[in-house]
Chains A and B, each alone.
Chain A
Amino acid sequence: MIFEGTAHKYGRDVDTDVIIPARYLNTHDPDELAAHCMEDIDGDFISRVRPGDIIVAEENFGCGSSREQAPVAIKAAGVSCVVATSFARIFYRNAINIGLPILVCPEAARETESGDLLRVDLEKGEVVNLTKSKSYQADRFPEFMQEIVAAGGLMNHVKKRKQSGGANA
């Protein structure tokens, strides 16, 4: 899968409260959540973001609350993937589980600026900054997680394992 889009750059410790404030957690509808995505850190985000755009951030993206509504809101806002120096662990799991592509790529995260045009090749784990003509190699997912991604998310993976008798059914 290859994505091309404009970067929206943030700093470190972007928490899930600013990705989707709790006052909007009285719904789990993806489109309603998307309408408030990044509202408390970047009020204009939702009016600027275009389908395929890429969020780039520094360390510890998605820290704080376990709310899966955070990656759901990002995905429903049309964001194709998130590139960061590092991710908080619950956000990392949630993104993989719901099929929001994420890449750990410290160099790309550090050097990218808002407005840069990026191309991401998910299979190769390659991030290319077309504006700056630079390419970067992201970390590969551990094999165990690649299985989940290949199955199309965690629930499909579970269904497959239940069918083959692999889990306590």
Chain B
Amino acid sequence: MTITEKILARACGKDEVRPGDFVNARLDLALANDITAPLAIKEFEAAGIEKVWDPKKVVLVCDHFVPNKDIKSAEQAKLVRDFARRQGLANFFDVGRMGIEHVILPEKGLVVSGDVVIGADSHTCTYGALGAFATGVGSTDLAAGMATGEVWLRVPETIRFNFEGEPGRFVTGKDYILYVIGMIGVDGALYEAMEFGGEAIRSLSMDGRFTICNMAIEAGGKSGIVEPDEATAEYCRGRALREPVMMKSDDGARYARVIDIDVSTIEPQVAKPHLPSNTVPASALADLKIDQVVIGSCTNGRIEDLRMAAEVLRGRKVHPDVRTLVFPGSQQVYKQAMKEGLIDVFIDAEVAVSTPTCGPCLGGHMGILAAGERCVSTTNRNFVGRMGHTESEVYLAGPYVAAATAIAGRVAVPEEVTA
């Protein structure tokens, strides 16, 4: 069996499951945010259910439209706040304690290897980096999960991606995953689990692995996963609230496909509008003038991402025509960035640093684009209207390219601005 099949078999009390089987899996965690929880709460209460199945395992995070961006958002967030208090939820994260959901859940040790997690947010697949099965669902699925502690799932086929070779100096996990999405397309892994392995994955930090698994959904994947190793164990030590269960795919595991990738051939990538699969090497866009740069999000808002951005920005100033925004993914990331002097680097470079929020990534608030404006962003989607006006454009990239672009005022790679 693959690691995904093993996790699901364990969660439904079976010795073996096969792709295509329908199972009821026990949940280790169920998550929603201030956009998806209100509908889930409405469904939950309309069904006449009084108590969530386990107040320690239902996690609510206000991160999308908070700090409250307008009156309607405030009303929706209040619904979530009231529900969390009424239900006595142990893990409710709000302004001041919150971060972006997919940054803080691993950080606080709430998700561990071997878990089955659903979240009413498509980027819940991020937690696969820990060797957990995690997938995004809608609000009604989440309501059912909150009520029963179970979710029905079809056991997915798995595509195995082997990353080998030595990456270039400024090539990151973001470039790996953009490259893969460019290769297989936005529905290239539809309904399937994407298992990422090989030497180049094992030598990636946990932050890099989170970035890769985060974007499995952009290839249509049900989940992304990395088999746990010493780096996973090290990450879990001292923070995991439960004992991690570390599994691996068997040697004879059946894969729908195996795709080998030589990372030494991958250049820093950019996904052009309006699909994450529309990738080209950043060097191919060198004349493209940019109005805004966003560094942050559940994809690239972790400390390593901010270190990469600061490495390029240190001692330099961003281009006068570029508005540059940095969103640390959590309070802890923010504090660590302060300790390391990264916030000084950003402010000296004339970059705006914000409290954590998903805000600009989905065109919510804090960085909306006007018609004709272009943004290079370390986020995960570049759909029509994603970050503002339908005639604005989002180019997806990793933190190195984003920071270099902010300095150059056009799409750039770090070598061009640090030489």
- Interface residues, chain A, CB within 8 Å of chain B? 13, 15, 17-18, 21-23, 25-28, 40-41, 59-60, 63-69, 71-72, 86, 88-90, 93-94, 97-98, 142, 144, 153-159, 161-162, 167-169
Closest 10 CB pairs of A and B: A94-B138, A68-B138, A26-B72, A97-B140, A167-B148, A60-B187, A22-B362, A40-B385, A66-B122, A144-B22
- Interface residues, chain B, CB within 8 Å of chain A? 22, 24, 26, 35-36, 38-39, 42-44, 46-48, 53, 64-65, 69-70, 72-73, 76, 119-122, 124, 136-141, 143-144, 147-150, 152, 154, 186-187, 190-191, 217, 220, 222, 275, 362-364, 381, 383-386, 390
Taken together as a complex, chains A and B put the C-alpha atoms of A26 and B381 apart, in Å, by 20
B362 & A65 in contact (Cβ 8 Å cutoff): yes
Q: Which residues of A contact B385 (CB under 8 A)?
A: 17-18, 21, 40
Q: Which residues of B contact A94 (CB under 8 A)?
A: 137-141
B141 & A93 in contact (Cβ 8 Å cutoff): yes
A66 & B36 in contact (Cβ 8 Å cutoff): yes
A40 & B384 in contact (Cβ 8 Å cutoff): yes
A13 & B121 in contact (Cβ 8 Å cutoff): no
CB distance from A124 to the nearest CB of B (A): 23
**Which residue of chain B lies nearest to A90 when distances are taken between CB atoms in the complex?**
B136
Known contacts A89-B220, A168-B150: A63-B386 contact under CB 8 Å: no
Known: A15-B381, A23-B363. 6 other contacts (CB 8 A): A28-B38, A40-B390, A64-B383, A65-B362, A97-B140, A159-B47
CB distance from B181 to the nearest CB of A (A): 12
**Which residue of chain B lies nearest to A24 when distances are taken between CB atoms in the complex?**
B72
Known contacts A23-B363, A65-B122, A66-B136: A158-B47 contact under CB 8 Å: yes
Q: Return the contact of A86 from the options B47, B141, B190 (Cβ within 8 A).
A: B190
A26 & B140 in contact (Cβ 8 Å cutoff): no
Known contacts A28-B38, A28-B76: A154-B390 contact under CB 8 Å: no
Taken together as a complex, chains A and B put the C-alpha atoms of A10 and B64 apart, in Å, by 29
Taken together as a complex, chains A and B put the C-alpha atoms of A89 and B139 apart, in Å, by 14
Q: Which residues of B contact A60 (CB under 8 A)?
A: 186-187, 190, 220
